[in-house]
Amino acid sequence: MTDCDNKNVRNLNLYFDNAATSWPKPEEVYKAAEIQMRQGCGNPGRSGHTRTLDADRLIYQTREAIAELINVTDPSRIIFALNATDALNIALKGFLSKGDHVLYTAMDHNSVLRPLGRLRRDGVITSTLIPCSETGFPDLDFLEEAYQADTRLLVINHASNVTGTIAPLEKMIKSAHSREVNILVDTAQTAGTVDIDAVAMEIDMLAFTGHKGLLGSTGTGGLYVRKGIDLAPLREGGTGSQSELDMHPEAMPERLEAGTINNTGLAALLEGLNFIKQRGVAAIREHEIDIRTYLYEQLQSIPVVKLHGPSDSYSASCIVSFTINGADCGEIGYVLESSYGILCRTGLHCAPLAHKAINTFPEGTVRLSPGFFTSKEDIDFLVSALKDIAALAES
Amino acid sequence: MPMTIVKINKLEDCFDGSYIYKYEFSKIVDERVMNAIAEGGRLQYFPMFSKPFYKIYTREGLQIKGILGEYDLEVTFPITDQFEKKKNFEEFLRLLLSRH
**pLDDT tens digits, residue range A369-388?**
999 999 999 999 999 999 99
Strand, coil or helix: A15: strand
Q: Tell me if chain B has a CB within 8 Å of the CB of A338.
A: yes
If you average pLDDT over every residue of chain A, what do you get? 94
- Answer yes or no: do A255 and A296 share one domain: no
* Residue B17 placed within a domain: yes
Looking at the predicted structure, is the pLDDT value of residue A117 above 60? yes
Closest CA to A87 of A231, A201, A195: A231
* Residue B59 placed within a domain: yes
**Exposed/middle/buried for A118, CB within 10 Å: 0-12, 13-18, 19+?**
middle
Q: How confident is the model at residue B13 (pLDDT cuts 50, 70, 90)?
A: low
Distance from B87 to chain A by nearest Cα, in Å? 24
Distance from B52 to chain A by nearest Cα, in Å? 7
Quick one: pLDDT at residue A5?
41
* Residue A13 placed within a domain: no
* Residue A6 placed within a domain: no
- Answer yes or no: do A77 and A173 share one domain: yes
Cα–Cα dist A304/A382, whole Å: 15
Which chain B residues touch A334 with a CB distance below 8 Å?
65, 74
Closest CA to A369 of A334, A345, A336: A345
Quick one: pLDDT at residue A2?
37
The CATH number of whichever domain residue A188 belongs to comes to: 3.40.640.10
Cα angle: A131, vertex A310, A381; to 5 degrees: 135
A33-42, A70-79, A115-124: the lowest-pLDDT one = A33-42
pTM of the model as a whole: 0.92
* Residue B82 placed within a domain: no
Quick one: pLDDT at residue B90?
95
Domain limit, last residue, from A250, A279, A308: A279
Q: Which range marks the domain in which residue B46 is found? A: 5-73
* Residue A189 placed within a domain: yes
- Answer yes or no: do A174 and A317 share one domain: no
Residues B66-87, mean pLDDT to the nearest whole number = 93
**pLDDT tens digits, residue range A40-51?**
888 888 888 988
Q: Do B67 and A331 touch (CB under 8 A)?
A: no
- Answer yes or no: do A269 and A181 share one domain: yes
Q: How many CA atoms lie within 13 A of A392 on its CB side?
A: 27
* Residue A2 placed within a domain: no
Best A14, A329, A331, A339 residue to mutate vs chain B (most B CBs within 10 Å): A339
Interface of B with A (CB under 8 A): 15, 44, 46, 48-53, 55, 65-67, 70, 74
Residues A289-314, mean pLDDT to the nearest whole number = 97
* Residue B30 placed within a domain: yes
* Residue B87 placed within a domain: no
Q: Do B46 and A395 touch (CB under 8 A)?
A: yes
Looking at the predicted structure, is the pLDDT value of residue B17 above 70? no
Q: How confident is the model at residue B1 (pLDDT cuts 50, 70, 90)?
A: confident
* Residue A22 placed within a domain: no
Q: Do A339 and B70 touch (CB under 8 A)?
A: no
Cα angle: A57, vertex A219, A88; to 5 degrees: 100
Q: Which range marks the domain in which residue A53 is found? A: 27-279
Distance from A164 to chain B by nearest Cα, in Å? 24
Using only C-alpha atoms, chain A has a radius of gyration, in whole angstroms, of 21
Q: Tell me if chain B has a CB within 8 Å of the CB of A326.
A: no
- Answer yes or no: do A243 and A258 share one domain: yes
The CATH number of whichever domain residue A289 belongs to comes to: 3.90.1150.10
Which chain B residues touch A388 with a CB distance below 8 Å?
46, 48-50
Quick one: pLDDT at residue B15?
63
* Residue B96 placed within a domain: no
* Residue A270 placed within a domain: yes
Q: CA-CA distances (angstroms) from residue A341 to A5, A344, B75?
A: 19, 10, 21
Looking at the predicted structure, is the pLDDT value of residue A11 above 60? no
Quick one: pLDDT at residue A316?
98
Quick one: pLDDT at residue A3?
40
Looking at the predicted structure, is the pLDDT value of residue A354 above 70? yes
Q: How confident is the model at residue A4 (pLDDT cuts 50, 70, 90)?
A: very low
- The domain tally of chain A equals 2
Domain limit, last residue, from A255, A279, A303: A279
Q: A278, A51 in Cβ contact below 8 A?
A: no
Distance from A203 to chain B by nearest Cα, in Å? 37
Q: Do B46 and A392 touch (CB under 8 A)?
A: yes
Quick one: pLDDT at residue A71?
98
Would you list the DSSP string of A155-198? EEESB-TTT-BBP-HHHHHHHHHTTT-EEEEE-TTTTTTS---T
Quick one: pLDDT at residue A271?
98
Q: Which residue of B has its CA nearest to A348?
A: B15
Best A13, A334, A348 residue to mutate vs chain B (most B CBs within 10 Å): A334
Q: Do B53 and A338 touch (CB under 8 A)?
A: yes
**pLDDT tens digits, residue range A200-244?**
999 999 999 999 999 999 999 999 999 999 999 999 998 888 888
* Residue B95 placed within a domain: no
Which chain B residues touch A335 with a CB distance below 8 Å?
46, 49, 53
Quick one: pLDDT at residue A240?
83
Cα–Cα dist A221/A208, whole Å: 5
Q: A44, A170 in Cβ contact below 8 A?
A: no
Cα–Cα dist A122/A139, whole Å: 28
Cα–Cα dist A98/A207, whole Å: 23
DSSP letter at A312 equals S
User: Residue A47, Cβ neighbours under 10 Å: how many?
Assistant: 13
Quick one: pLDDT at residue B61?
94
- The domain tally of chain B equals 1
